[in-house]
């Protein structure tokens, strides 16, 4: 049975990979489907995200990576999939995902949604959290595959000076040269 795991994956995280790996044990084929959403401004292009996911899933023989536009259930029908695979981190995810599952069911009675609870170590993790940490110079090495961390760091070079939002003066601080020994406390 073919399952579609749809999302923006901007970028793919270890939480996403956890769902993909576990789903690949449950279904004969998983299609990780990157949604082209014209209403969002992603950090990575669709092509970059496809490549990041392909590189992250080379160890999984039954995982395919693709991109699509439009309704997920229509893409699933075209792909001959019977299942939409979704990960759940918290109760708030469940409410949104259940509403989406019910909506999808009104569009296609042939497609079922299967939820996998995220592993505990990834219950807080989202692509937005990864981008926020990287934007401010924090380490994301424990949140995404190494090649994705490198790609993300390249997007946030931190070579410009930035204002420290905690400081009350207007002195600019370069985060790469900002350690307790060389900055005002």
Catalytic center residues? 16, 40, 89, 127
Cβ(65)–Cβ(29) below 8 Å: no
Q: Distance between CA atoms of 53 and 66, rounded to whole angstroms?
A: 10
Q: Distance between CA atoms of 155 and 44, rounded to whole angstroms?
A: 9
Please give the sequence-ordered ranges of beta strands (E in DSSP) within 8-101, or none if there are none. Answer: 29-35, 63-68, 83-88
DSSP one-letter code for 119: P
Closest to 21 in 3D by CA, of 68, 43, 53: 53
In the three-class reduction of DSSP (H, G, I as helix; E, B as strand; rest coil), residue 118 is classed as coil
């Amino acid at each position: 049975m073919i399952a579609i795991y749809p999302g923006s994956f901007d970028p793919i995280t270890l939480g996403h990979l956890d769902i993909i790996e576990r789903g690949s044990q449950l279904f004969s084929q998983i299609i990780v489907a990157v949604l082209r959403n014209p209403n969002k401004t992603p950090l990575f292009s669709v092509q970059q995200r496809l490549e990041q996911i392909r590189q992250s899933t080379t160890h999984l023989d039954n995982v395919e990576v693709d991109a699509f536009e439009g309704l997920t259930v229509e893409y699933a029908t075209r792909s001959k999939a019977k299942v939409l695979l979704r990960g759940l981190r918290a109760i708030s995810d469940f409410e949104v995902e259940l509403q989406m599952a019910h909506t999808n069911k009104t569009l296609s009675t042939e497609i079922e949604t299967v939820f996998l609870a995220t592993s505990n170590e990834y219950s807080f993790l989202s692509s937005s959290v990864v981008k926020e940490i990287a934007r401010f110079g924090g380490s994301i090495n424990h949140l995404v595959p190494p090649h994705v961390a490198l790609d993300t760091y390249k997007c946030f070079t931190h070579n410009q000076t930035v204002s420290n939002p905690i400081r009350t003066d207007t002195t600019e601080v370069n985060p790469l040269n900002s350690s307790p020994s060389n900055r005002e406390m």
